[in-house]
Amino acid sequence: MNDLFTTQLESHGFTPHEISQIVKLGKLKTLPAKSILIKQNNVANEFYFLIDGFCHSCYLTEQGKQFSKEFYWRGDWVVGFEELLDQTSSPYTLETITQTSLITLPISLLDRWRKNALPLYIKLLETQLLYKERKERFMLLHSPQARYEVFCQDYPELLAQLNDYQVAAYLGITHISLSRIKNRIKKLT
């Protein structure tokens, strides 16, 4: 199916037979930019492995505001743990930012991994926990300008793919605030 995908499965202890069974369940999809994978308040029946491209998850308010949850790119697993654990609908929307190739897998497979405490499931949980801890620290300990500067330094390839609204939503500021920050930085350089 995809070398990156099968290598990840191998590295987490799946046997060739188990990998072939997982590959049979997976579906390879290529989607254009701005494709909705999960719509907020809908039930997610799949989880994803990204082969290429960028995806974004965000919360949408009734007033039309958007709050960025996360970005995903090559080699990332996209899993809605809250929906899986609480048996609820998705509290966020997941969409492609660029043309994206991914493997979709049934959520029932992830649930089996969870119930059997498979190493890959544990790794996915640990990765998500680390991400959440780091993002919380990032949001609490840095000023908006510092968050923007760190974002530019850490994710230059992502920055080139996003518009100011998306960057601002991730940083927890308005696009107007982001514009002011960018102008301030320009004047300093």
**Pairwise CA distance, residues 103 & 4, whole Å:** 11
State the pLDDT at residue 189: 79
State the pLDDT at residue 66: 85
| Residue 107 structure tokens | 């959520």
| Residue 37 structure tokens | 């994978």
State the pLDDT at residue 1: 65
* Average pLDDT value for residue range 130-144: 94
For residue 50, give the nearest of 24, 71, 76 by alpha carbon. 76
| Residue 177 structure tokens | 């605030």
Q: What count of other Cβ atoms lies within 10 Å of the Cβ of residue 184? A: 11
Percent of all residues in the chain with a pLDDT value above 70, rounded to a whole number? 99
For residue 164, give the nearest of 153, 150, 175 by alpha carbon. 175
Question: What's the predicted TM-score (pTM) here?
Answer: 0.87
Confidence of residue 160 (pLDDT cuts 50, 70, 90): confident
State the pLDDT at residue 67: 87
